[in-house]
């Protein structure tokens, strides 16, 4: 049975505290986990389509849309005409790290953990968050930008990368397991943290799964629920 060990902090399936140093990897989702926004929704605002895109995002994160790749293609198609300058404005004016993000990443790194960022969002943002927090590995989607006439505008499509087309739940799990293998560790020596249904495949492999201000389906399956406060509340469970 779930147990609330302090207000807004719930555990199930184990007895705390665990030791942070027992783990070798921590994997984070980005949108609404490490950062405060869903980037695709905020980008869509530049072309007056935020409400339409946000409705699809919400359904996908709740697990009501089972084909994540198709839901993302639909959302990205609505971004046609958004400029790189618009995205820069989202980054500088709307995007913030969630409370405790920097403290938790620093604590993990100090304890010797590597840090992985796996996102259904976009390289434009994950690359910046990687550099800002000193993250070791990332995987996310790449938006196609027009060259020639109307250069600097999004085409409404994504670019295939060497690992595949779209970072969905299955790809997050694959990258999580590949990173564990690269480090020579078992998935049980890794922590996975997210908020949406597309995070569940990697969270299901991890030795410790953490739901941060998450959708009901994710909270039900996570070993730790942070329902109030910042990301660094995980350090109340890990000593």
The rounded Cα 27 to chain-centroid distance in angstroms is 9
Q: How far apart (Å, rounded) are the C-alpha atoms in residues 6 and 11?
A: 10
The verdict on whether 195 is a catalytic residue reads no
What order of strands is seen across the sheet that includes strand 25-28? Answer: 3-6, 9-11, 224-226, 208-212, 190-194, 25-28, 114-122, 137-145, 154-159
Specify whether the CB–CB gap between 14 and 210 falls below 8 A: no
What whole-number distance in Å separates Cα of residue 47 and Cα of residue 87?
Answer: 11
**142 bridge partner residues:** 159
Q: Is there a contact between 123 and 140 (Cβ–Cβ < 8 Å)?
A: yes
Catalytic pick from 29, 41, 168, 195? 29
- Which candidate in 31, 195, 199, 232 is catalytic? 31
Residue 124 φ then ψ, to 5°: -55, -35
| Residues forming the active site | 29, 31
């Amino acid at each position: 049975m779930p147990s609330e060990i302090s207000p807004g902090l719930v555990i199930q399936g184990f007895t705390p505290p665990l030791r942070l140093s027992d783990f070798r990897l921590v994997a984070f989702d980005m949108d609404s986990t490490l950062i405060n926004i869903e980037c695709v929704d905020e980008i869509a605002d530049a072309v007056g389509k935020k409400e339409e895109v946000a409705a699809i995002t919400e359904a996908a994160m709740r697990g009501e849309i089972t084909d994540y790749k198709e839901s993302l293609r639909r959302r990205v198609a609505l971004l046609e005409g958004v400029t790189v300058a618009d995205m820069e404005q989202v980054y500088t004016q709307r995007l913030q790290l969630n409370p405790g993000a920097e403290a938790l990443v620093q604590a993990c790194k100090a304890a010797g953990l590597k840090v992985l960022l796996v996102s259904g969002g976009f390289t434009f943002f994950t690359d910046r968050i990687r550099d800002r927090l000193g993250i070791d590995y990332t995987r996310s989607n790449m938006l196609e930008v027009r060259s020639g006439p109307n250069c600097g505008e999004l085409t409404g499509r994504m670019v295939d990368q060497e690992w595949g087309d779209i970072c969905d739940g299955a790809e997050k799990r694959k990258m999580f397991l590949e990173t564990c293998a690269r480090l020579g560790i078992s998935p049980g020596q890794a922590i996975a943290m997210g908020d949406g249904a597309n995070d569940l495949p990697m969270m299901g492999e991890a030795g410790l799964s953490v739901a941060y201000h998450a959708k009901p389906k994710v909270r039900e399956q996570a070993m730790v629920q942070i329902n109030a406060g910042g990301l660094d509340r995980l350090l109340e469970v890990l000593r």
